[in-house]
Structure 1
């Protein structure tokens, strides 16, 4: 497997807040990465789902509540310049160059997953459908409340809805908020900040870990694998 982690060069630190929501991005990537990522295109497909660990209080709360280290995800697409981008619910929903996206995560660690039967399901026409489905979310604000409406988007919601609309598949299982582990102090603090005294216990949520563990997916790239 390719170890893209080794080709990322971070020149200035990045300040991250709230579950992958970017407050200030002063990130520069080494020039050689463009060449390296071009060589990796054969191993990274459009429609692949990429996961990472964000560095923020909200990310910590998500990790504790879901019992998973992964707190952020997006879909990989090619844009008109034929370069690889991650379509993600950040602030706002947007395309981020793959190299920048990887460098922004904790330790630059990432995992890429793909449908087991992607060869027959993720056709060029389906990729077009995925991109078209994603257009209506472009520029929308990040959803700190983790609601299921289309007015705002959080990361796994964006990926789940695009896959559902374009393929009919449900990658991961929606769960009511009350099913997550809400017992730790960091989670309680963040819940109080977001919801006050009115926690929507029955609100259905799709978590990054539910997608990560979906039996529909297979790991195709993990930068921690030597």
Structure 2
């Protein structure tokens, strides 16, 4: 009986936000790491289908006096405590990725510059139409621009909207709701999938 109770307790701890954070912390999270999840948002399925990827949302990890947080574009560009961010995804699953040779590239001064770029974009509303401007920002655009502007590195290949698989009815319906009949097929876009698959990144943790 004691063994069963102990096992149940361990399971509860591991699936709790605090437990998930402890798991991730044990992987030695670093500032500048990128984290991916399957979002539960209304557009998540359309993004998955269009990009042929399991992951539909992403953010970049930084640290302040309160601990690690994810800078993300959701309703707007904002900070979300890491444990809270993990708990919000489908099945609380996530993938943590890191820039290859991060120790050589992401020196303290560079990380500070990345934070400054992120701060300049903070508070901007989420970009529902995925436009390549700073007026509004979406999740993968935030990551790409922070890295490009602070380090000169392009994490993920820029594409055009027409490059994605737009054939599924779920995708078509979402695009019609966003754009009407004038779909900007030549709009420059960066997807979570493109960043996820970048050869500049290595996987640190898969949960």
TM-score, with normalisation over the residues of structure 2? Answer: 0.90
The equivalent residue for 1:126 is: 110
Matched, 1:163 2:147: yes
Name the CA shift for 1:124/1:54 in 2 (closer, same or farther; >3 Å). Answer: same
Shift of 1:98: 0.4
The equivalent residue for 1:186 is: 170
- Which whole-Å CA distance do the structure 1 matches of 2:135 and 2:119 have between them? 13
The equivalent residue for 2:50 is: 65
Aligned pairs for 1:21-170 (under 5 A) are 29=17, 36=22, 40=25, 43-81=28-66, 83-170=67-154
How many residue pairs match? The answer is 196
| Deviation readout 1:17-67 (Å, 9 max, x if unpaired) | xxxxxxxxxxxx45x677x36x82661000000000001331100000000
Shift of 1:97: 0.3
TM-score, with normalisation over the residues of structure 1? Answer: 0.83
- Which whole-Å CA distance do the structure 2 matches of 1:91 and 1:136 have between them? 16
Q: Which has the larger radius of gyration?
A: 2
Higher helix share: 2
Unmatched 5+ stretches in structure 2 = 1-11
- Which whole-Å CA distance do the structure 2 matches of 1:106 and 1:177 have between them? 26
Unmatched 5+ stretches in structure 1 = 10-28
SS in 2 for 1:183: coil
| Deviation readout 1:61-96 (Å, 9 max, x if unpaired) | 000000001000000000122x11000001111000
- Which whole-Å CA distance do the structure 1 matches of 2:180 and 2:72 have between them? 27
Q: Are the equivalent residues in 1 in contact too, given 2:27–2:205 (CA < 8 A)?
A: no
**Superposition RMSD on alpha carbons, in Å?**
1.7
Shift of 1:7: 2.6
Structure 1 ranges of 4+ moved more than 6 A: none
| Deviation readout 1:134-168 (Å, 9 max, x if unpaired) | 11111110000000110100000000000001110
